[in-house]
Amino acid sequence: MAKFGPYEDDNIFAKILRGELPCEKVYEDQHVLAFNDINPQAPIHVLVIPKGPYVSMDDFTEKASDEEIGAFFRAVGKVARQLELAEPGYRLLANHGTDGMQEVPHLHIHIFGGRKLGPMLKTA
Ligand code: AMP
């Protein structure tokens, strides 16, 4: 389960950003890294993360600069286009906190695509 205190440098995505763990990189710029999810839930499943130390969407939208926020959302669209998902379509997801069942406490947006994705939420 996610830890929702201050940002902790030992999370998996921080280690990927520091090059201590490998990733299948899809896109990188000054503010953003995107890589394939290790346990894909769709034919295409990419994670887009900011390079800054933000726990979640809540943390990011409160503390990040306008430049970081702009760069992050521009990159999400850019990655989706790079993956040729703009036309068939895709789904974005950002889990936050306990009810959102966030597992890794470094903000990430999931991009899912490559097939019809079905209903937005399964009934529990
Ligand atoms: P969330 O539940 O939104 O926090 O999603 C965390 C995601 O990170 C899951 O989809 C995991 O499969 C993915 N994940 C965990 N470790 C790695 C890793 N080393 N490389 C790529 N994806 C990972």
pTM, two decimals, is: 0.96
In a domain, 95, yes or no: yes
Query: Would you state the pLDDT for residue 64?
Result: 98
Counting the structural domains of the chain, the total is 1
Q: What is the CA radius of gyration of the chain?
A: 14
Alpha carbons 12 and 64: distance in angstroms, whole number: 20
In a domain, 82, yes or no: yes
**CB within 6 Å of ligand 1 — which residues?**
12, 21, 23, 37-39, 47, 95, 101-104
Residue to probe by mutation, ligand 1, list 11, 35, 47, most atoms within 8 Å of CB: 47
Q: Are 50 and 72 in contact (CB under 8 A)?
A: yes
121's enclosing H/E stretch is none
Range of the domain at 31: 23-113
Is residue 108 flagged as an active site residue?
yes
The string of pLDDT tens digits covering residues 45-100 is 999 999 999 999 999 999 999 999 999 999 999 999 999 999 999 999 999 999 99
* Contacts with 123 (C-beta within 8 Å, 6 or more apart), sequence order: none
In a domain, 11, yes or no: no
Considering 31, 45, 106, 108, which one is annotated as catalytic? 108
In a domain, 1, yes or no: no
In a domain, 10, yes or no: no
Q: Phi, psi (5° rounding) for residue 53?
A: -85, 80
